[in-house]
Structure 1
């Protein structure tokens, strides 16, 4: 579990409270919509997707370079080391040229033989006839050799042309693949960046049901911390609780806050929160945590401050956090009789999903108080020394706004 965010509140109290209180409304200038990511996707999964997309882009760049090299080798080959197809085409072309030259020579020989026969006398006629016959046979052979060489040259040339066309197509496809891989990597980068931006969701409500406006020192007060997911998203959240005695000189050791886990009641550290994750809280559903608090019976009249909110689990997508519900409680000396609390008579409604811990149901008690929503704080658990310097005013909306903004900046 992560360290809670209260040390930042206490550290910022004296310095930041006046500024924070005056700027509580616009303090969280985040987009109104959550990060665009598939439901159930986590930051870790998006980081892995980005890593894979970058690797695919790098591979596509190398493939495009290789495809260009193959095309260049076929179109403008290196004379010192040409591809086999280029060599074969060149050799076939040369052979066809040589066959054509031989054919031309054979045609010339036949022409010369015919001229010689026409001009030969009776004594030389037999020899001239034999030369013409030999020349005509040589011409026939030359013609056949030329046809075969020309066909081979055509076949080799066609093979080279086809290879060049295929290489050009492969290069164009490689460029398109590189472009698509680059766009996918950029989209993955944006999805990860967007997922790390946490957005306030007013519909992710928190309420302390049964928390009275007054409590008597020594009495144990049960109540229910209820989280209602009114958003359109299934979310993973951590319950945030912040309960302190905020009167001057108050000793936090006089305050005991507990929550009901699966194994029984667990005491919280001063201003601490339950070590609990509410997973897959669906739209319209609720999670309820049974809690109780006790102020030592020797505690004099004082005041108690309580704040509750739903915080996003680190790495969850969408990263939504709910507004903080603040309560002020008057602590009366032991034996006092609390004044009737008007309240609103509210009590937890049935949950549409399982509660985070067994038995986390509504607890009868005083009518719940109203509260003012604000943003919650970030940081670690507040020390008793820091808490004794806090007042109800300083622990209000402003200080928590500043601290929670800091936490959001760390996430992004």
Structure 2
């Protein structure tokens, strides 16, 4: 008889029979939340949900792996319970053989007793009878031993089968739990990824104010950039700005101190809590070297933003071009005009602010609040002087040869790092 085959068949039947009990009932699976609980989650809530789902999956995967190792252990012939069963099986077979031998001894003793001749004396008859009695006693003892061995074989077999069935049932449940946790993790990751995609928002407008169409070598021009929130709700605004000419330097006003801009596009003056209808403004100045040759300059401004639900909100970009005139030239006084800027296919910003400083503030107020505190629409925030305000970054000095593609790529890098 094949012991392994018997146990395998028993375990398989026991595991598959209650499979329905290990599944989630459709009635519970289809349960829906009340309408009051279906509010759109914030981005931070989605991040937490994804992190929690990842932890849950890790725990489920570990439990699954541990149970799988236990399955391999208890299904092995080296398991203590398996050894006990095999020993009991062998003992039962030995007891069975001993019982058969004892029964045969009784039969043989009785045959010898019956075969005694009539001439046998009393001692011979007594000896033959004693042999029968002894054989019957031995057969009885062998029968009792066989019964005990069979009971032990059954007991150890049941113990082994129960252990293996319980282990495999738990393994089956943990396999399903791991699959469910993986699905939940994938769902949470997908939701977080979808929420992190950039949203195009034309109501975040930006412009340069006061940048002339012509800048004379050896002079300094003062201008500013503005980003306005006309979306109807509060945003955290992170403008992207740069200005460049071959022989010049750009600076931004940090409180009362002018600071140079780096030679790359940068997130400038990130401001939290910019109310609907508010505008932030940052002052900039551009100085062109007196020995500069006639040429061209470029500038760009765009409004990046975020809120509780969208970490990447992109407003339209505006590009500006201006001419650099040789020293002593007389500019015509016109302002630089925004140029058509390919914006629809720009990549997602990934960079961080590169210039330190203070965020724009209202006069005497907190960061990104309206200049006129009596109204919440159409207000203008100006550069403040508080050294305790958040640091800002301003861009400048990007070579014209880099082209618009490099500027667009930089913008996407900058917004991503903020998320």
Q: What TM-score do you get using the length of structure 1 for normalisation? A: 0.52
Q: CA RMSD in A?
A: 6.1
* Gap change, CA 1:274 and 1:317, over 3 Å in 2: closer
Instruction: Show the 5 A alignment for 1:264-279.
Output: 264-268=257-261, 273=266, 276-278=269-271
CA distance in 1, matches of 2:256, 2:113: 124
Q: CA deviation at 1:93?
A: 0.8
| 1:135 corresponds to 2:128 | no
Matched, 1:156 2:156: yes
Task: Tell whether 2:283 aligns with 1:291.
Answer: yes
Tell me the secondary structure at the aligned position of residue 154 of structure 1. Answer: helix
Equivalent position of 1:207 in the other structure: 206
| C-alpha displacement of 1:293 | 4.0
- d(CA) in 2 for partners of 1:55 and 1:181? 9
Match of 2:93 among 84, 90, 97: 97
Which digits, 9 at most, give the CA deviation of each residue in 1:66-105, with x for residues without a partner? 456436x43xx4xxxx333322211101111221222233
SS in 2 for 1:322: strand
Aligned with 1:307 (options 289, 294, 300): 300
Partners of 2:252 and 2:261 within 8 A in 1: yes
Aligned-pair CA distance for 1:151: 1.6
Secondary structure of 2:154's aligned partner: helix
The 1:106/1:219 distance shift into structure 2, 3 A limit, reads closer
* Residue of 371, 381, 394 corresponding to 1:362: 381
Deviates more, 1:286-295 or 1:137-146: 286-295
User: How many residue pairs get matched?
Assistant: 321
Check conservation: 1:238, 1:310, Cα contact below 8 A.
yes
Contact 2:244 2:297 in 1 (8 A): yes
Unaligned runs of 5+ in 2: 1-39, 336-359, 372-378, 384-394
| Residue 228 of structure 1: aligned partner | 229
Residue 70 of structure 1: which of 73, 84, 89 is its match?
73
Q: Distance in 2 between matches of 1:292 and 1:311?
A: 19
Q: Which runs of 5+ in 1 are unaligned?
A: 1-35, 246-250, 340-347, 365-378, 391-398
Whole-angstrom CA distance in 2 between matches of 1:282 and 1:243: 24
Report the secondary structure of 1:323's partner residue. Answer: strand
Alpha-carbon contact 1:224-1:363 (below 8 Å) kept: no
Helix, strand or coil at the partner of 2:239: strand
CA distance in 1, matches of 2:411, 2:300: 17
- Look up the SS of the partner of 1:355 in the other structure: coil
Gap change, CA 1:90 and 1:38, over 3 Å in 2: farther
CA distance in 1, matches of 2:302, 2:111: 115
Q: For residue 266 of structure 1, give the secondary structure of its aligned residue in structure 2.
A: strand
**1:382 alignment counterpart:** 398
CA deviation profile, 1:275-312 (whole Å, cap 9, x unmatched): 5444x65885867243144678x99xx99865321347
Question: What are the Cα deviations for residues 147-173 of structure 1, in whole angstroms up to 9, with x where unaligned?
Answer: 221121112111221233234335434
The question of whether the paired residues in 1 share the 8 Å contact of 2:241 and 2:267 is answered with yes
Aligned residue for 2:252?
Answer: 259
Give per-residue Cα distances to partners, 1:365-409, cap 9 Å, x unaligned. xxxxxxxxxxxxxx98424xx48xx9xxxxxxxx64674258659
Assess if the C-alpha contact under 8 Å between 1:206 and 1:308 holds in 2. no
Q: Which has the higher contact order (CA 8 A, sep 6+)?
A: 1
Q: Determine the C-alpha separation between the residues in 1 that align with 2:410 and 2:220.
A: 37
Deviations 1:314-344 (A, max 9, x none): xx973443221356789998899989xxxxx
Aligned to 2:392: none
Aligned 1:12-411 pairs, distance under 5 A: 39-40=43-44, 66=69, 69-70=72-73, 73-74=75-76, 77=77, 82-113=78-109, 123=122, 124-173=124-173, 175-176=175-176, 179=179, 183=183, 199-203=198-202, 205-208=204-207, 211=210, 223=224, 225-228=226-229, 230=231, 238-243=238-243, 253=248, 258-262=251-255, 264-268=257-261, 273=266, 276-278=269-271, 284=276, 288-293=280-285, 306-311=299-304, 318-326=311-319, 355=367, 362=381, 381-383=397-399, 386=400, 400=404, 403-404=407-408, 408=412
